[in-house]
A and B are shown apart, each in its own frame.
Chain A
C-alpha cells in the first residue's frame, strides 16, 4: 500500500457508517440520565458539526463546546502586543494563518500588514527559523500560540536556534495548557458538566493521566477522543457508560494516538524550554499556572522580554460574548451580533475567526440542535 492508501484506510475506517450506526444504537439504548457533555477541543467542535453528530444523539445528551481553540482564547491584550511588535522597524512577524485575522483592541495582524508591517503566514516554527536565516538583518518574531500540541515544536525551534547560534529569532509565547483551564472553568461554577470529551492531539503529548483529577475530585466522566466521527461517538459511548454506571473515570477512546503517559520526548522538550506560568484567556481572564513561559535560561529568544513596545489600553469588542461561549455558558445563537454584525467575513470576536471556533462552526454548518 502507498502512504496515501494507508492514511486513507485509517480515515475511512473511522467514518464507516455501519459501525457508526451501531455505536449510535448502543448510545440510544444505554443513555437514560440527562448528560451534559463538553467537547473541550475546537477540532472536536468542527468534527461534530461537520458530521452532524449532535442531531444523531438522544435527547438526554446535551453537547457544549469548550475553550479548546487556541486562536479563540488568545486575549486582546496579547494580540495587541503581537501587533505592536509588527509595527517595530526591522521586525518580521511570523504566525499561523488563522491568527492574522483575529481582531485585537484596535487592529489585527492582517490590518497591520496592510499598513506596512511585515507579517508572514507560516505552517510551522521551522518555517520561521528559515525566514530568520534568510533575513539576518531583521528580527523574526514567531507568535507562539496553541496548547500542549504545538508547544513542543516551538520549544524545538528555540533549541535549534540555540544550536545554530541564531541571533535574530524570537518567540512571543502565548501558549496555554489544558488541565488547569478545565479546573478553572469548573471552579467558576457556571456550567454543570457530567462528562468531558478530552482533547485528542493535546493528549497525544500529555497522555490521559493529567485528567484523573476531573474524575476523582469533580466526579466528571472523561474520555479522550480522536477527530473522526467514530472516535467521537466511541468517546460519547464511553462517557454514557460511565455516567449511567455512576463510575466516572478517564478512558482513552483514541488508542491509536494516545498513551496514558503521553509522549515523553515531546514533554521533555517542553520542560526544557518552558515553565508553567500565568496566562491571559479571552473571556476568562488571567488564570494562574495555565500558560507556558520561556525559561530565563532561554530569555534571549523571548520576544516579550527583548522588545520595547506600547500596545496601548485593551478594549473588548462591545456586545461580543465570545468569553461566555468559551466558558460553555452561552451558545453563539444567544449572541446579538451573531450573523448580524459578526460574520466570518467581518468577525467581531475570535470564535468567528478561527475555523475551530464555535461561532464559525455554528455559522458554517448550521445548528439543528
Chain B
C-alpha cells in the first residue's frame, strides 16, 4: 500500500477516514469545530451575509498561493464585499484518489494561515474521495457567514453618478500567475498571484468613510466585468482612464504575448469601490495605509450618461467601449 497518497478508502467513512480527519484537526482547531457534531452551532445577532464558492484552480499550487489559500480568501472576500465582517467558514474537499498526502497537508497549512490572517474560523467540513479522473486532484468548496454592521448598505446596484471608482492596485496578477504554470503554456513570470483576504482593508475603508456605495472583487472576468456589473445594476455609465489603471509590467508583457487584455484577467486580492465624491479622498487615504491597498488609485467615475456602459478614454485621447468578456479566454494564433 502506498501510505503517502489519498486512497478511495480515505473517503469511505471508516478508520482511514477517521484518522485523516483527526490529522486535519490540529491545523484548524477551534471550540466549535472540535465538537465534531453534525453541524456547527454558534450565536449570531443582527444581519448576516452568507455566501459560497467552489474552487477548481489548475494547477493547485501556483506562485503566490495554492487552492487552499484561494478557497479561504475567495469566500472571505465575497463576504467583505457586502461590507460584512467574515466570521465562520465551512470547508469541503473533493479529493481525487492518488493526491499526495503531503500536498493535502501543505494546503491545510495555507488554509489555516489564511483563516488566521482573515480572523475567521472553520467550523464545519466534509471530505469526499472520488475515483481517478472524476475530479482534478482537489476541489474545495467553502461557504461563509459574516455579520453586516448596522447602517452598512453596499451593493453593485448602489453606485451613483459622480461616484469615484477606486481600485486597490495592479490588475491581472492572479490570472497570469496561474496561466504561467499551465501545462503546454509554461512561461516564467516574476509576478505572484495577488491572492489575499481583503476584509481588513474593507473594515478600514468603512471606518474611514460612510459613502462607500458599491464594492466588488474583480475575480473571473476581471475589472471589465465588475465595472460592467456596476454600470448595469446601478444604471449608471462608467468612465475610465486607461492611463490610470495600474498593471505590472510583467503582466502587461505576458498579456501582449498571449493576446490578452489585462482588463479581463482574474484577480484574487483586488477590489473596486464606487465611492461618493466627497468621501473619495478619505477612502483612498485609508486604503493606502493598509498593506493590501498601498497601490490604490482612482481610475474613473460613474456618470449619468451612457447608463449601463463602461467607456474608457485611451492614452491617445480616443474613447472605446469596455464590454463584458465572452467565453473562455483563448490565446491568439498569430
Which residues of chain A have a CB within 8 Å of any CB of chain B?
Answer: 2, 4-5, 7-8, 11, 15, 17, 20-21, 24, 43, 49-56, 70-71, 96-99, 101, 121-123, 127, 145-147, 149-150, 201, 229, 343-345, 355-356, 363-366, 368
Q: List the 10 closest A-B pairs by CB distance, nearest first.
A: A52-B318, A97-B330, A366-B321, A344-B326, A96-B333, A149-B334, A17-B315, A20-B316, A365-B320, A55-B318
The interface centre, meaning the residue of B190, B321, B331 with most chain A CB atoms within 10 A of its CB, is B321
Contact of A7 among B256, B261, B314, B315 (CB under 8 A): B256
CA distance A113 to B249 in the complex (A): 37
> Contacts A4-B249, A8-B249, A364-B323: A51 and B334 contacting too (C-beta < 8 A)?
no
What would be 22 A-B contacts, judged by CB atoms less than 8 Å apart? A2-B190, A5-B249, A15-B315, A17-B243, A17-B315, A20-B315, A50-B320, A51-B318, A52-B316, A52-B319, A53-B316, A56-B316, A56-B318, A121-B330, A123-B184, A201-B334, A344-B327, A355-B259, A355-B330, A364-B323, A366-B320, A366-B321
Q: How far is the CA of A216 from the CA of B192 in the complex (A)?
A: 54
Whole-angstrom distance between the Cβ of A153 and the nearest chain B Cβ: 10
Within 8 Å of chain A (Cβ to Cβ): is B1?
no
Assess whether B151 is interfacial by the CB under 8 Å rule: no
**Pair A98/B327 contact, Cβ less than 8 Å:** no
Pick from A43, A49, A97, A122: contact of B320, CB under 8 Å? A49
Given contacts A127-B184, A146-B334, contact A345 B326 (CB under 8 A): yes
Question: Distance (Å) between the CB of A57 and the closest chain B CB?
Answer: 10
Q: Is B203 an interface residue (CB 8 A)?
A: no
Q: Chain A residues near B259 (CB, 8 Å)? A: 355
B252 at the interface (CB under 8 A from A): yes
A344, closest chain B residue (CB) = B326
Best-buried of B184, B185, B261, B327 by chain A (most CB within 10 Å): B184
Given pairs A51-B320, A229-B315, A365-B323, 8 additional interface contacts (CB within 8 A): A4-B190, A50-B261, A52-B318, A55-B318, A147-B334, A150-B333, A363-B323, A366-B323
Contacts of B249 in A (CB 8 A): 4-5, 8
B315 touches A146 (CB 8 A): no
Q: Are A97 and B316 in contact (CB under 8 A)?
A: no
Q: Which residue of B is nearest A49, CB measured?
A: B320
Cα A344 to Cα B264 in complex, Å, equals 15
Instruction: Indicate if B332 sits at the interface (CB-CB under 8 A).
Output: yes
B240-268 CB mask vs A (1 if < 8 Å, else 0) is 00010000011011001101010000000
- Whether A4 pairs with B317 at a CB distance below 8 angstroms is no
Residue numbers in A under 8 Å from B334 (CB-CB): 43, 70, 146-147, 149-150, 201
Are A8 and B253 interface neighbours, CB within 8 A?
yes
Which residues of chain B (283-326) have a CB below 8 Å from chain A? 311, 314-321, 323, 326
Contact partners of B256 in chain A: CB under 8 A: 7, 11
On whether A11 and B253 interact (CB within 8 A), knowing A98-B333, A344-B327, the answer reads yes
Residue from B250, B319, B326 in contact with A368 in the complex, judged by beta carbons closer than 8 Å: B319
Given the interface pairs A7-B256, A229-B316, the reply to whether A98 lies near B330 with Cβ below 8 Å is yes
| A55 CA to B320 CA, complexed, in Å | 10
Nearest-CB residue, chain B, relative to A146: B334
Is the beta-carbon distance between A122 and B184 smaller than 8 angstroms?
A: yes
Q: How far is the CA of A15 from the CA of B250 in the complex (A)?
A: 17
| A98 CB contacts on chain B under 8 angstroms | 330, 332-333
Residues of A within 8 A of B327 (CB): 101, 344-345
Task: Indicate if the CB atoms of A356 and B332 lie closer than 8 Å.
Answer: yes
Known: A11-B252, A147-B334. A123 touches B185 (CB 8 A): yes
Which residue from chain A places its CB closest to the CB of B334 in the assembled complex? A149
A206: shortest Cβ distance to chain B, in Å?
14
CB closest residue in chain B, given A16: B315
B321, A4: Cβ atoms closer than 8 Å: no
B250 shortest CB reach to chain A, Å: 5
Query: How far, in whole Å, are A71 and B330 apart by their CA atoms in the complex?
Result: 13
Q: Which residue of B lies closest to A20 (CB)?
A: B316
Cα A308 to Cα B45 in complex, Å, equals 71
In the docked arrangement, what's the CA distance between A24 and B184, Å?
42
A356 partner residues in chain B, CB cutoff 8 A: 332
Contact in complex: A4, B323 (CB < 8 Å): no
Report which of B185, B253, B321, B330 forms a contact with A365, defined as CB distance below 8 A.
Answer: B321
Interface centre among A11, A43, A49, A355 (most CB of B within 10 A): A355
Given the complex of chains A and B, what is the CA–CA distance between A98 and B332 in angstroms?
7
A17's partner among B317, B319, B320, B321 (CB-CB below 8 A) is B317
| CB <8 Å contact, B253 and A7 | yes
A21 engages B320 (CB within 8 Å): no
Which of A2, A52, A97 makes the CB contact (< 8 A) with B314?
A: A52
Instruction: Considering the complex, give the chain A residue whose CB is closest to the CB of B191.
Output: A4
Q: A8-B252, A355-B259 are in contact. Are A21 and B333 (CB under 8 A)?
A: no
What is the distance, in angstroms, from A340's C-beta to the closest C-beta of chain B?
Answer: 16
CB contact under 8 A between A51 and B314, given known A147-B334, A363-B323: yes
How far apart sit A226 and B311, CA to CA, in the bound complex (Å)? 26
The answer for the CA separation of A115 and B314 in the assembled complex, in Å, is: 43
The reply to whether B332 and A4 form a contact with Cβ atoms under 8 Å apart is no
In the bound complex, residues from chain B placing their C-beta under 8 Å from that of A123 are 184-185, 331
Complex CA gap A2/B332 in Å reads: 25
How distant is A87 from chain B, measured CB to nearest CB, in Å?
A: 23
CA–CA, A50 and B318, complex, Å: 9
